[in-house]
């Protein structure tokens, strides 16, 4: 699962349309590499201005968006070029939703061990397996042999 936690101040991502647009772009990034859409979770976490401090100073001059991305389903190879491709995709994805609106922003990506991940009590199917393909087409976790080990 990629989990995107988007911390934002009031006045940003306040309507369903802006949240939907960003979450759909995030989902496309991952379904584009063959992951089921249900793996993709976006959480919009609104914070008051008084809760955002950067460099020891309250951030009030313009909106500051902080994104924490946890990737579990697929890990990047330990290769600088792969990391660069991934961050470039993220930059391009965030550009119309954050950068082009004049917001300040920052993100980081954490890769979590897949063996510590479950959905509805099931171990997600192995990558590119028949069971994962079924999750992709059904857009829902479907029981398969070995799911509840």
pLDDT bracket for residue 149 (50, 70, 90): confident
**Could you give the CA distance from residue 71 to residue 7 in angstroms, rounded to a whole number?**
17
Task: List the domains of the chain with CATH numbers.
Answer: 2-115 (3.30.429.10), 118-149 (no CATH)
**Could you give the CA distance from residue 64 to residue 36 in angstroms, rounded to a whole number?**
30
**Could you give the CA distance from residue 42 to residue 19 in angstroms, rounded to a whole number?**
9
pLDDT at 34: 93
Average pLDDT of 28-42? 96
pLDDT digits (tens, 9 = 90+) for 125-147: 999 999 999 999 999 999 999 99
Handedness of CA 88, 6, 54, 58 (dihedral sign): positive
Helix (H, G, I), strand (E, B) or coil at 50: helix
**Could you give the CA distance from residue 43 to residue 41 in angstroms, rounded to a whole number?**
7
**Could you give the CA distance from residue 79 to residue 136 in angstroms, rounded to a whole number?**
28
Mean per-residue pLDDT of the chain: 96
pLDDT over 90 at 27, yes or no: yes
Share of the chain above pLDDT 70, in %: 100
pLDDT over 90 at 54, yes or no: yes
Alpha carbon 108 to its chain's center: 10
Provide the whole-model pTM. 0.95
pLDDT at 49: 85
pLDDT digits (tens, 9 = 90+) for 96-130: 999 999 999 999 999 999 999 999 999 999 999 99
């Amino acid at each position: 699962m990629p989990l995107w936690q988007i911390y934002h101040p009031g006045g940003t991502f306040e309507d369903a349309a802006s949240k939907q647009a960003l979450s759909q772009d995030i989902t496309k990034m991952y379904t584009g590499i063959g992951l089921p859409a249900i793996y993709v979770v976006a959480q919009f976490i609104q914070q008051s201005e008084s809760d955002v401090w950067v460099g020891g100073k309250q951030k009030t001059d313009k909106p500051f968006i902080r994104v924490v991305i946890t990737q579990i389903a697929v890990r990047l190879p330990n290769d600088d070029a792969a990391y660069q491709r991934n961050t470039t995709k993220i930059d391009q994805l965030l550009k119309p939703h954050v950068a082009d609106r004049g917001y300040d922003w920052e993100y980081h990506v954490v890769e979590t061990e897949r063996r510590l991940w479950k959905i509805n009590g099931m171990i997600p199917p192995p990558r590119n397996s028949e069971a994962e393909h079924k999750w992709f087409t059904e857009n829902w976790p479907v029981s398969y042999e070995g799911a509840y080990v």
